[in-house]
Amino acid sequence: MTNYKQIYINGQWVTPSSSETIEVWDSTDESVMATIPSCGAADVELAAKAARAAFDSWAALTPKARAEYISKIGDGLAAKMDEISSAISRETGMSKFLSQMIQVGLPINSFKQAAAIAENFTYSKEVGSSLVVREPIGVVGCITPWNYPLHQIAAKVAFAMAAGCTVVLKPSEVAPIDAFMLAEVIHEVGLSAGVFNMITGTGPVVGEAMSASSNIDMMSFTGSTRAGRRVTQVSAESVKKVALELGGKSANIICADLDTETFAKAVSSGVGKAFLNSGQTCSALTRMLVPKARLEEAEAILTSTGNALVVGDPFEKTTHLGPLASAAQRDRVNGFIQKGIDEGAKLLVGGVGVPEGVSKGYYVKPTIFSNVTTSMTIAQEEIFGPVLSVIPYNDEEDAVRIANDTVYGLAGGVWSADKDKAIAIARRMRTGQVEVNGGAFNPNAPFGGYKQSGVGREYGDHGFEEFLEIKAMQL
């Protein structure tokens, strides 16, 4: 067990104002794997003032100079890939193989991509008699979640710093170890003091103080819609810019025109799209929409695919799904599964309880429901576990209506034999991303949501621009 006793402020490891600590639990065996400081408002203000003091000199650096630092951080993460991915697998439950590729590989890409954009971005252009320039917004407060901890840190920190901003980071207290490893890499790189600051603690204390701080110009938050509302409310008092990446209840429309082989591929791959990271994915395609006439065909495929999933130790190569990240999440997901049963959904695979073959860890059974109606709780609320709801539809109009019938709009999918038709359906879905016929995730494309899934975008040029202000100089 590792006891982290310090936080990172102004280029140094410092002892926080409070001696209180938070336990970090190993999702695989329910043991305490680390303790971290539980910081208070005084620590937030110390970090925010350090970031404020460092801003002018960091913003004044050339984009190329900033990019060199950001790229070196990516290299430092790559050198620690095995160590970091192992920690994240224990924190979140994701299989070690996927942790290397997704939980560390994608953050490395984010630092490299942010560096490249910083160097090549067009920061000014003439508009009539005006010179319109883009400038860093200032000090950015970053609050990140536990499901893709380093990935979401990189989405904010890499792009904000590359844009010329300084940052104060609060990682999730459920999965903070990777953030300490990132801070170590940043320290080794020799980043200017105050550009990156990291404090740990709870949302109601640290997150609240960050949102309220007059020394923070922008809040970038990823997490639940409920918590995102609170960040917005508190930030409004000082009229901060707020970027939010929140929940999702994404629909995967399987069209009736698919041949038997492609239909089977679409349905079976849809299980994987729902269950990635044991379903602890905000953009997971958790609602599968299938034509009523082919529902029985889909159910047979889903039952076979679901029953073949191997649940177990994320460090075993044969494992498909590891545990959930916490006891609270395990209990919450089981509550939703029971709700699905109580409300009359047809249980195809899984159910309430512990999977066979495991005795410790926050495991749940991968669960697939069919004959789900849009009024059911499992069709509307984000579960954040391996629970797939299969909803039958009448025709294309009905499918689009069902897909849009939630408060969320983060991601989605469409499968059709006619690619143009699939794209036309995708255009009608009120959501920030749609994968067409299994199109692969693009880590450099803009990511974010419509409706209560958020405000703003992350990654690529669009994510970079979130951290820039616009100034017009009349010449």
Active site residue 245: yes
Q: Are 363 and 386 in contact (CB under 8 A)?
A: no
The pairing of beta strand 166-170 with beta strand 241-245: unpaired
Contacts of 11-20 spanning 24+ positions with Cβ under 8 A: 11/187, 11/191, 11/192, 11/193, 11/194, 12/193, 13/187, 14/46, 16/40, 16/43, 16/199, 17/42, 17/43, 18/43
366: nearest Cα among 301, 268, 287, 274 = 274
Using DSSP's 3-state secondary structure scheme, residue 420 falls into helix
Distance between CA 240 and CA 168 in Å, rounded? 15
Query: Could you give the C-alpha distances from 355 to 292, 304, 387, in angstroms and in order?
Result: 31, 17, 14
Question: Residue 318: is it exposed, middle or buried by C-beta count within 10 angstroms (0-12/13-18/19+)?
Answer: exposed
- Amino acid identity at 225: T
Strand order in the sheet with 346-349: 346-349, 367-370, 387-393, 287-291, 251-254, 412-415, 435-436
Closest among 284, 163, 233, 220 to 457, alpha carbons compared: 220
Closest to 431 (Cα-Cα) out of 406, 445, 449, 458: 449
**Which residue matches tokens 């999977």?**
355
- One-letter amino acid at 226 equals R
Residue type, 376: M
Closest C-alpha to 174, from 203, 195, 197, 151: 203
- Helix or strand holding residue 150 (H, E): helix 149-162
Rounded alpha-carbon distances, angstroms, from residue 475 to 126, 127, 129, 130, 273: 10, 10, 6, 6, 52
Catalytic one of 165, 282, 435, 458: 282
What is d(CA 243, CA 457) in angstroms, rounded to the nearest whole number?
8
Q: Tokens 């939980």 identify what position?
A: 103
Q: Which of 45, 91, 245, 382 is catalytic?
A: 245
Strands (E), 10-96: 12-14, 21-25, 32-37
- E strands, 209-339, in order: 218-222, 241-245, 251-254, 287-291
The Cα–Cα gap between 466 and 158 comes to 12
Active site residues: 245, 282
